[in-house]
Structure 1
Amino acid sequence: MLVRARALISAGHPGPSVAITALVALLAALSGSRGGDFALAVTAMLAGQLSIGWSNDAADARRDAAAGRRDKPVVTGAVSVRAVWVAAVAALVTALSLGLALGVPTALLLAVVVGAGWVYNLGAKATTASGLMYILGFGPLPAYAASALPGQPLPQWYATAAAALVGLGGHFANVLPDLAADRATGVAGLPQRVGARWGPGAVRASALILLLSASVLLLFASGGHPVAWVGLGVAALLAVIAALGTGRVPFAAAFGIAAVDVVLLVVVGYAQA
């Protein structure tokens, strides 16, 4: 039972799920969100992200088996595809229910973020719309965090734009280790098409430009705040690591840049007064 539970948790992509949830929690907490609404918002986001992870492994079960992905629990048989689908749907319902408890705006924002992940998993990942799904999956995160604040203020435009740039840059960074496997299994999303036409170097360069653009945007929005300059320097270093790294290093570096940008958003102010 414990082995199956571990396998099920692993199928939910706990690393990215917790990382994205932590970024939202940090953004809300540093802006003063506390109490029940904060806890509900964080729990709803975690459930939503886990539902994306589970639906990904369930939808990709045959493709992962064909690619010999022994790191996937559904491929090794440690957990059944049916169990993963059940977990995905249960987590989705839980997420949306918790979001609705915070209000219709919060629930709608969460539906966009999580819905984009599901649409990506169910087919958009193999089309040029894959990039759009990452934009929709990350762009609304500042608005979602702001919805946990008193009065549910709207986000500044640059907060949404920066989050979308980080999401799209993360998409390009995330596919770098899997370009060959994606080509073999017919996954032809936006980054894969860029790689097929201009080579892996173009995918790395795109990730670097997109990720750094978010930090540059926040630097300008801050009016040249000293902390923003420091943040840009750290982001530049992480972007280089993302561009030169192998395996999952690029995606980890992209999350590092996202964390830096969260701090910058708090310094600049991401919610309208």
Structure 2
Amino acid sequence: MDFAQGHAAVVTGGASGLGQASARALAGAGFKVAIFDINDEAGKATAREIGGTFHHVDIMSEQSVEDGFAAARAAHGQERLTLHCAMASKRGKTLGWDKEVGGYKRLSTEDYAFGAEGILVASYRVASISALGMANSDPVTEDGERGAIILTASVAAQDGQIGQVIYGSCKAGVNGLVLPMARDLMDLGIRVNSIMPGIFATPLMLGMKDRNPPMWAQLNASVPFPKRLGNPEEFASLVLEIARNGYINGHQFRLDGGIRMPSK
């Protein structure tokens, strides 16, 4: 994809972390970026910074996502790149000891279903709504490419830890979307890929630096090389390469410094 053409891009979860770094990188590369998020203050500030637009979008709501894409397209035209970083989930072990009752308690099906909706279903929702818009647009490359969709999985998709039965299995499901969706969309010139980030220095993780320095040092040391958490800008760099390189399709990329997560 030729960045010089000033294509439109949509980034969900673009108000912070990996999404925010990617929104900045995409804007810097010449994309007109629309940020989807529920954090209005941070989303609007980021949009102003990069010369993009902000749209309050709840990925759990079909109507909210459809309205967000409609507003983004009205502002920038048909998106040619969609990066989905936003998610919603809960945490818990399949069976956990409940001190109050003196026995094991099962992680509720409702809690699991919430995570499945916030990770897996939301990924399909965002990707398929974007794909529909791309399919009804003209190609932008000689190969007939109409756009690219990048989903965010996690190394937990392959190395799910204790307490990650929701997160790990649903992120594995995100990876499972990639190849069949890429094949579904191949005749329309729409590429689909995913990125599996390891431990990255997002705002959530950075809070540990002052709160628990020993744990912070342990996390950094756990990465084979380089011995540090990933920078969000490194995630954004891979996003740009996937967007740029039209031969990357149907693939899931680990971006993790070589880490393999232990059971806990």
TM-score range, shorter chain: 0.3 to 0.5
Instruction: Flag the structure with higher strand content.
Output: 2
Instruction: Flag the structure with higher helix content.
Output: 1
Q: Report the TM-score, using the length of structure 1 for normalisation.
A: 0.33
Q: Report the TM-score, using the length of structure 2 for normalisation.
A: 0.34
